[in-house]
Every structure is written in C-alpha cells, then in structure tokens.
Amino acid sequence: MNRWKEILISKDFPILRAIELIDASSLQIALVVDEYGRLLGTVTDGDVRRAILRGIPLSESVECIMFCEPTTVRVDDSRESILALMKNRQLRQIPVVDASGCVVGLEVWDELIEIVDRNNTVILMAGGLGTRLGSLTKDCPKPMLKVGNKPVLETILDSCIEYGFRKFYISVNYKAEMVQEYFGDGSRWGVEVCYIHETDRLGTAGALGLLPVIPSDPLLVMNADVLTKVNFQQLMAFHNEHKSSATMCVREYDFQVPYGVVKIDRHRLIGIEEKPIQRFFVSAGIYVINPEVLAFVPRGEYLDMPVLFERIINKSLEAAAFPIREYWLDIGRVDDYERANGEFSKIFP
C-alpha cells in the first residue's frame, strides 16, 4: 500500500541510481521531492533513455532530466476521473498530492483496473421502514425502490462488487421477502449473499449483534438507502493506515442561520453577524469496524451507530473520520428520491 514511499528521491539523486531504483520497482517511476515531501518532478525509463540520447552522463543528478510539470491528482479524486485522465494523457502512473503539493500516494493504471477480491464482509442495513417516503414505501421497502433502472440496494451492491467485495449480509425486516426474492444467494452477481433477520427493529447498528460468525477482517457497514461514489479502496486503506477500531464516513453539512447572530459579553452587545453559515461534519451512514468492536453490540438489543461509536471512544479505542468528497445522497425523503432519479444516469452511467 505504501510502495510509493520507496520511490521518493531527492533532486541530487544520481541518474544511475535512479535507473536501478526504477528497474527494481514494479511501479516503474521515481518521484523527486524536496525536503518537505513536495513533488518537484518525476523520472521514468523514458526520461532516462532520452537523457542517454542527449549524451547526459549517468553520474549527473536527476534534476537535469526529471519532468518538472507532472500530472497529479488529489486524494479525493474519484477512481473514474483518474482513469479517464490516465487514458486521455496516456499515463500509467499519476502521483497523488495533498493541498500543499506533498506526495501522499501513487495511482497506477494496472492496479486501478484490476479488481482484487477482498476478504472483508459487507453488512447492508436494509431493515428500515422508510416512513418519511410516505406512500412510496407502502408496498415496497425503501432499499428496493427503483432509482434509474434498478433498486437502490442493487446499485449499492454493484458499487461494492466493483471494489472487490464478495461476501455480503443484508439485514432485513420490513417486507424482507421482497429483498430475499430479488437477491437470493447472490450468485446472479457472482457473490455470496446471506441475511440477518431482525424480528424487532434494532436501530442502525443492532443487527451486527445477530451475525452468526465473527469475521476475522474489518467489516464494511452501510445503510441501504445511500447512493454514493465513495472510493471504498481508499476508505479501507485509510482505516488500516490509521489503525482504527472503527471509522465513520462523514459529510460536510452547511447550515445558514436565518437571523443576525448577536455576540454578547455579559450585558454588552459587542457585535452582530448577519445570517452566518455554520459548517459541521455529519455521519454519512458508511462505516468500517474491526471485529472486536462487535463485543459492544448486545445480541437482540436496539442500538444506533452513534451510541456504538460513543462506546468505542469511551473504551479509549481509536475511532477515525473519513471525509467523503465524492457523490453522496441519502434517500430519506420524497425530494431526495426525486433528485436521485434525476441525477442517476449522470452519476452511475
């Protein structure tokens, strides 16, 4: 996951040693950085060969042959946009940089297009009543509502499969038979689907206590009414890199106060801020949790995810927040459902 750290070199690095590094690495590139890790340029086999043709001695530093204006991407760029950029510019590797221009990763074409099967189990919470959608869920559970040409839950399943997940549990309650009849054992999608039956409503986390077997790898848990293009590969890598017991995906939420907010010091009015915008991070309904966290979920008892995370924090375990910058929509209300149908063909082609 951190192989890119092995190909970081300084601008004074000799060309000959750069050749050895490139040949020894499957990444086939070297990243030239300054003392702070900021990207200065890249060196590839092609750069070296062009230098040889120009008669540049291999004892010279890479500063005289590196490409100083490399294409880069940001950590929150989507997999689809990165692949499109690579295809358009005929690139096999693209450095990933942060806002300061520091290297934080490397995207490689072969790895992006390759689907590696994961051992992680996915839990899709599909047992809710969907009462805020009114008549839309009278005869159909919310996850089975069609957005575009297929149920919301199928789009979620497809997105997970795209990133190599193959083991699924679907938590069901309201009109469970409709979900089970549609997805069956998952063989239609080439995956394994099992079901967790909630005889009583157990909240957004309680169904985890009904898992028949405790997995050995972190679990991806997701509400079955969320449409998103989040990069699950980056999410799982983030969780592992931070050695988290649990990771919560979060979204930035803006709220504009409709009044002038008065600032007071005791009895004195010291200022007025007209209709300020408040910014918060809110839960996005997507989580990664380690198996040991399941010990905090009593079997058959109602439990919501915020309470589970509070228990994790109170036990002094590591809990992380993964900010989602990709498309995300919670289909909680009728206008959300209408918006999802209007945007689906552009977001999920």
70-81: per-residue pLDDT in tens?
999 998 888 888
> pTM for this structure?
0.70
Mean pLDDT over the full length of the chain: 90
User: In the numeric block, which tokens belong to residue 210?
Assistant: 């009904």
pLDDT band at 185 (very low <50, low <70, confident <90, very high): very high
267 has a pLDDT exceeding 90: no
pLDDT digits (tens, 9 = 90+) for 288-301: 999 999 999 999 89
How many Å apart are CA 96 and CA 163, to the nearest integer? 19
Cα dihedral 265, 268, 271, 277 in deg (nearest 10):
50
Tens of pLDDT, residues 129-144 = 767 777 788 888 889 9
Catalytic residue selected from 175, 275, 315, 346: 275
Q: What local confidence, expressed as pLDDT, does residue 237 receive? A: 82
- Show the tokens assigned to 52: 């040889």
Distance, CA of 3 to CA of 164 (rounded, Å):
21
Euclidean distance between CA atoms 135 and 139, whole angstroms? 8
Identify whether the C-beta of residue 234 lies closer than 8 Å to the C-beta of residue 75.
yes
Q: 70, exposed or middle or buried, with CB in 10 Å at 0-12, 13-18, 19+?
A: buried
Residue 342 pLDDT greater than 90, yes or no: yes
* Domain definitions of the chain by residue range: 3-113, 118-347
- Distance of CA 32 to CAs 42, 53, 59, 65, 142, Å? 6, 22, 17, 11, 51
Per-residue CA distances from 219 to 33, 42, 208, 308 (Å): 36, 37, 10, 14
- The CATH number of 3-113 is 3.10.580.10
- What is the model's pLDDT at position 130? 66
Of the candidates 46, 127, 112, which has an alpha carbon nearest to the alpha carbon of residue 73?
A: 112
150 has catalytic annotation: no
Q: What is the CATH number that goes with domain 118-347?
A: 3.90.550.10
pLDDT in tens, 25-68: 888 899 999 999 999 999 988 888 888 878 899 899 999 999 99
312: left (phi over 0), alpha (psi -120 to 50) or beta: alpha
Share of the chain above pLDDT 90, in %: 59
pLDDT number for residue 144:
92
Angle between helices 176-183 and 152-162 (to 10 degrees): 40
The position carrying tokens 């990771």 is 247
Q: Is the pLDDT of residue 314 over 90?
A: yes
Q: Are 319 and 313 in contact (CB under 8 A)?
A: yes
**pLDDT tens track for 142-167:** 899 999 889 999 999 999 998 899 99
Q: Are 220 and 160 in contact (CB under 8 A)?
A: yes
Compute the distance between CA of residue 133 and CA of residue 332 in angstroms, rounded to an integer. Answer: 7
- What's the chain's Rg over C-alpha atoms? 25
**Whole-angstrom distance, CA of residue 68 vs CA of residue 71:** 10
User: How large is the angle between the packed helices 15-24 and 45-53, nearest 10 degrees?
Assistant: 140
Query: Strand pairing of 150-151 and 246-256?
Result: unpaired
Q: Among candidates 3, 18, 118, 124, which has minimal Cα distance to 64?
A: 18
What's the rounded Cα separation, in Å, for the pair 60 and 64? 7
How much is the average pLDDT of 237-254? Answer: 89
Written as one letter, the residue type at 98 is D
pLDDT in tens, 193-233: 999 998 888 889 999 999 999 999 999 999 999 999 988 98
As a whole number of angstroms, the distance between CA 160 and CA 233 comes to 10
